[in-house]
A and B are shown apart, each in its own frame.
Chain A
Amino acid sequence: MIRTLFQIFKTGIVTENVLGRDADNIEVLGSKLSKIIKKRFRGSLTIRQIDAGSCNGCELEIHALNNSIYNIEQYGVRFTASPRFADLLLVTGPVTLNMEIALKRTYEATPTPKLVVAVGDCGCGQGIFDENYATIGAIDKVIPVDARIKGCPPTPAALLNGILQAIS
């Protein structure tokens, strides 16, 4: 126990301010919903992440959002296990044929108003995985999208900025 406490105190607070960094690859599509969410949720936002076919590269960086350096919870943003509690869906792609139905169902299970952010080059329809027999492609081919964060994979800083822009 003493070791654990020692390590915690020695580490201190490592959280960094990365606002504005790597923010070039973000495209917010000017949704009215975002204003509603900002007003109704007062900047407190719950995200459900959906992998609709990614190579898991984007997932690594989404995981990093929760580490103590990016610490996305400092902005009132947290990840939830159920779409029923979610305000925002963070979707990585490309959408595969085998995930299409699950993605639609998850979208439908999320209460309105809801935001959808497409993550990664593939999710934005610009990745290496273009359409084929098994792949439908960009997220917006299956569900409406409000913002896009590009990158292969997008850095945690880009993700953080993209999510914050989508709600503000």
Chain B
Amino acid sequence: MSVNKVLTYTVPADKFAGTAFEQKKKGAFLAAEWSAESENYFEVYACYRLNGEYQIVRTEISKEKAEFDSISGYYLAASRFERQIYSLMGIKAIGNTDQRPWIKFEDWPVDAWPLRKNFKQNTVLRRSEGTYDWIQAEGEGVFEIPVGPVHAGIIEPGHFRFQAVGEAIINLEERLGYVHKGIEKRYESTPWLEGYKLAGRVSGDSTVAHSLAYCIALEAMTGCKVPARAAWLRAIFLERERIANHLGDIGAIGNDAAFSILLYQLMRLKEMLLRTNQLLWGHRYVMDKIVPGGIVADIDKNGIEQILTELKKIEKEFKLLVKIYDGNPSLEERVLTTGILSKAQALELGVVGFVARASGLDIDSRVQNPFSPYDQLEIKVPVFTAGDVNARVWVRIEEVRESIRLIRLLLNNLPSGAIKTDCPLPPPNKTGFAVVEGWRGEIIYWLQSDSKGAINRCMARDPSALNWKGLEYSVLDNIVPDFPLCNKSFNASYAGNDL
């Protein structure tokens, strides 16, 4: 299978759920499910991943009927995707046992379907009365803890509702959507060559990965060949983003277990990295530097030297800090066997990224679905089986080391030449698909042009859309005070999920 190609086939609406059953039997994961609107009908898509190969199943649905058979009976992850399809496009998934809105709140007008073509982007939504049916638990000693949307800390908004008996969590329900900015609707009025900016702000901490995924999808549509130097530097940006976020998060996990030295030391290393980014490319997070057709930030000999020196420092200090992490019994007490997501659960939920790798799943789209230059690299993918907070930390520790190695390798063999070529505009009625392994995991972009050649639909799927569900399962039977630790070890994005 060649790079970033995807097989799309159309089935009649009554066969849509059947194909999900077949995919499930084969052992495929559900990567995403979404909808689009054409002139004469709605479309529903399901994207499956089997051994790193992607298949998209598409079906057409009449506008009058606006319903399809749910696949949530086969794939748990489909439930939220289908709730979102109903909330934003108004196509009902028949058979999904959960028909509550998702992202759309109960105080929106019920018939506001923002992704439909007849819905104007600037419609002012009047609030209406509505209720949300929370899952409830009853019984002696059961109590409920509502948390959020404004959390205790510098963090994005979301609502968590715990049912607990004493200290033990018996159920956690997430409600997200607080930072929904209508990004997918915004795409419909965005010029193709500007879309990378929007993608770069889907989830700020993954700005490189998201804009890269958008650009690759667009380049796949137009047949644009990115110069080798640009491709290599893109990978360097991506690996640097991975290191920066992993460093910060490992520190934050330490901090949540009252071991603050890790936070302060690792944040210092992260700051070192961000400053080099600023110095070399003019932005601490390398935002807006990946554009369709290449990149707009180069590196010279001095820059390469600077990165190599910086990496040497980071590597040396990181080694010692990992020893400190590993050799502290009171920290071990908190992270070992806490927040376990079993392999069976991980398979069932189809989680991705470091969360999946900490629960025994050997998946990494840099290896299984590589684009240049990853197709020329051998990447060591760390896989741990415990599925607890500690395993998720260790996956990330190993990934920091591996990314340092990769950056060195890329810098030492950096091709010369141009860093950008002109990206043509895509033809009408075409689709493009891209998968990028961001630091959280697999990011998917799917683009579709309309009959005039403009953006008809841009579907962005952040790893968080799958991984949030994993958190709900991992905290069961844990104590409430361990929730921040579990949550931080997943560190799913609210913005990336809500779009």
Contact = CB atoms under 8 A, between A and B. Distances in A.
Interface in B161-188: 177-182, 185-186
A54 B268 contact: no
Contact of B320 (A3, A53, A67, A129): A3
A55 B108 CA distance: 22
Counting chain B CB atoms within 10 Å of each CB, the highest count among A49, A52, A152 belongs to: A152
Contacts of B152: 81-82
Interface in A24-74: 49-64, 66-69
Contact of A98 (B179, B323, B324): B179
A4 interface: yes
Contacts of B493: 56
Interface in B280-310: 284-285, 287
A49 B150 CA distance: 9
Contact of A50 (B150, B197, B267): B150
Contact of A133 (B122, B202, B264, B278): B122
A51 B125 contact: no
Given A102-B149, A133-B122, A67 B201 contact: no
A135 B182 contact: yes
Contacts of B149: 99, 102
Contacts of A96: 178-181
A143 B429 CA distance: 44
A95 to B, nearest CB: 10
Interface in B464-484: none
Contacts of B413: none
Interface string A116-128: 0000000000001
A58 B267 contact: no
Contact of A102 (B178, B201, B324, B494): B178
Interface residues of B, number: 58
A72 B197 CA distance: 31
A67 B264 contact: yes
Contacts of A67: 264, 267-268, 270-271
A14 B265 CA distance: 10
B205 A49 contact: no
B201 A128 contact: yes
B267 A62 contact: no
Contacts of B202: 55
B141 interface: no
Interface in B121-165: 121-125, 149-150, 152-157
B248 interface: yes
B105 interface: yes
Given A57-B205, A133-B119, A128 B150 contact: no
A54 B125 contact: no
Contacts of A4: 261, 324, 328
A67 B498 CA distance: 28
Q: Which 5 residue pairs are nearest across A and B when measured between Cβ atoms?
A: A57-B204, A81-B152, A134-B182, A67-B267, A55-B204
24 contacts: A3-B324, A7-B320, A51-B156, A51-B179, A55-B203, A55-B495, A56-B204, A56-B205, A66-B154, A67-B268, A68-B267, A94-B181, A98-B180, A102-B178, A128-B198, A132-B121, A132-B182, A133-B112, A133-B121, A133-B122, A133-B182, A134-B180, A135-B182, A155-B284
Interface of B: 105, 108, 112, 114, 119-125, 149-150, 152-157, 177-182, 185-186, 197-198, 201-205, 207, 248, 261, 264-265, 267-268, 270-271, 274, 278, 284-285, 287, 320-321, 323-324, 327-328, 493-495, 498
Interface of A: 3-4, 7-8, 11, 14, 49-64, 66-69, 79, 81-83, 94, 96-99, 102, 106, 128-129, 131-135, 152-153, 155
